[in-house]
Structure 1
Amino acid sequence: MPAPRQVNLGDSYSAAAGVQPLVEDSPVLCLRSSRNFAHLLAAARGYRLDDVSCSGADTTDFFTAQYAGVPAQLDALAGGPDVVTVMIGGNDSAVYTTAIRACSDVAATDPGGSPCRAAHGAEYVDIVRDRTYPALARALAAVRAKAPGAQVLAVGYPWILPAQTGCYPTMRVAAGDVPYLRELQAVLNRSVQRAAEQAGVTYVDMSGVSEGHDACAPVGTRWIEPQVGATGAAPAHPNELGQQAIADQVAAALR
């Protein structure tokens, strides 16, 4: 009997951007690591893995080609996988990268205050609720429909920042804007969870287990690399410890 087949979908958190080495012969723009959580899980469980995760992907890339030679991610579900893993949503409407960039751009004007919240208010949260959530619901429903016999697991994003204060300038976010960006990430994760539940998909919550392992934690403790001094992963992305933690949480959620 052949080994169970796993398909991994998603964005740079799923691909493990910056974690070396890359998957041999994979599309270079995808920055797809051979040490991402899907590869770690497949190795531990003896799965045959089809990994089509790609840095920069949003939910539209499930349905259409992201780049030349990088087909729609849902195409990988043909043939009936047994397990599907997904991390997606953070790039939709470019909301999270835009928010972090915007907050970084104004942090120096008031490092102890909340200049980003003052400038942008509910703008980013509204985008996640109004645009990202419906897009996630559509994408996860499509995954469920194309892989009706698979266990599908949608993974939430581990904390990028601590609950309070932060670590300016290692993470270029003013102290008062740390809770602001945490709430944005919480809304994004709740959107992933809601969409997963609506589609009949298992949600893998990373929020509790990743507390204290954010980008402000020291080397060896942090699962997310900081904006300044990142080693072993792209800035504000999971390093290999983070990828292993995601693999462990997914494994615990498997039937």
Structure 2
Amino acid sequence: MHARHPRSGGTARNHRHRRPTGRGTRIVTRSLLALTGIGVVVASGLTMVSLSGAASGGHRSVVVFGDSYYSTPDAPALQRPCAQSEHNWPRLAEERTGVTVHDWSCGGATSASLLDRVKESLVAGDLGQDTGTVFLSVGGNDFAHQDAVRGGTVDDLEGRRDIVLANVSTAVGIIRATAPGARLVMSSYLPSTVGPYVCRTAGPVQGVSLPVYDPDLDAVEAYISETMALAAQQHGADFVDLRAAAEGNSTCSPVGSRFVSGEQDGAADVLMAWHPTQAGAVFMADSLIPHFAD
């Protein structure tokens, strides 16, 4: 949720095209989001192996809306509109499946600015009758997540949730009116925390620091996840609980297997501090590819 980079206008540079070539495999498990009781889909760890190199055959195009947890900024990406990395999950998914993925994720996006991206995708012709699947994940900037990961306090969680739900509802209305046959999929965020603990800096144990007790951060991340689950429930969308599926792969995991990095520590897996690592982007692709509609 890269809050330091301004939202840019939609251009042809913000999306990519590839022709479909084959059919993909779907392996998912079902679970319940304990705090809300909402039915969700949790990606199985088997998908990382099963979907590598999968082809896509009859899949229609995919459109992706999200903030920097989807755009996954790295250093080169900061020079591009919306800070989209060449290694983010939409591009990985397109490369693996051959499905055309229009990436409208944007570093710094809020639930309000997401509406601009949806409208821009219409003008570009990326969202329409031929769209097969729409992915949507937002809220981290609304909930000041980048302050929370550094120890800040986030107030008025209920008020922030109301704003996110209202803006997502507006976005869904536009999407459903324009692409009525598309599957709508919402997802939560990869976790910075493992339980109420976070590892903020580099350290002597496999590249990470000793865990710091931070139940407030864990609560904020849970709240963001639950907000997206509620939005999915309200609009009859699929919900992919990446936070639950990635449990145990946090900032406190060893370099190379952690899905989110702490502060910049020079490790090769860091694309940007407090954002998905390359392993995290791969995990997201493996988790979300099974939801591509035929």
TM-score of Structure 1 vs Structure 2, range by shorter chain: 0.7 to 0.9
- Partner in structure 1 of residue 166 of structure 2: 134
Structure number having the greater strand percentage: 2
| Structure 1 position 245, deviation (Å) | 0.7
Counterpart of 2:183, as a letter, is Q
Which 5+ residue runs of structure 2 have no aligned equivalent?
A: 1-18, 21-59, 203-207
Q: Which residue of 2 aligns with 1:233?
A: 271
Match of 1:46 in 2: 98
The normalised TM-score by structure 2 is 0.67
Identity of aligned residues (%): 25
Q: Which residue of 2 aligns with 1:99?
A: 148
Residue 72 of structure 1 is matched in structure 2 by: 120
Structure-to-structure mapping, 1:1-255, within 5 angstroms: 3=20, 4-18=60-74, 22=77, 28-64=80-116, 72-73=120-121, 75=123, 76-92=126-142, 95-101=144-150, 103=151, 116=153, 123-170=155-202, 175-176=212-213, 178-229=214-265, 231=267, 232-255=270-293
How far apart in 1 are the matches of 2:184 and 2:162?
Answer: 24
Conserved 8 A contact 2:132-2:292? no
Larger proportion of helix = 1
Read off the aligned partner of 2:163 and give its amino acid letter.
Answer: R
Query: Root-mean-square deviation (CA), in Å?
Result: 2.9
Deviation string for 1:177-221 (max 9, x for gaps)?
x22111111111111111112112211111222111111211111
TM-score, L = length of structure 1: 0.77
State the distance in 2 between where 1:99 and 1:147 align: 36
| Aligned-partner SS, 2:162 | helix
Q: Partner of 2:251: helix, strand, or coil? A: coil
Question: Does the CA contact (< 8 Å) of 1:161 and 1:216 recur in 2?
Answer: yes
Is the 8 Å Cα contact of residues 129 and 181 (structure 2) preserved in structure 1? Answer: no
Distance change (3 Å), C-alpha of 1:124 and 1:29: farther
Relative to structure 1, the CA distance from residue 147 to residue 190 in structure 2 (aligned partners, 3 Å threshold; closer, same or farther) is: same
C-alpha deviations, 1:106-134, integer Å up to 9, x for none? xxxxxxxxxx5xxx6xx152343332233
Q: Distance in 1 between matches of 2:83 and 2:210?
A: 26
Aligned-partner residue type, residue 162 of structure 1: V
Structure 1 unpaired stretches of 5+? 105-115
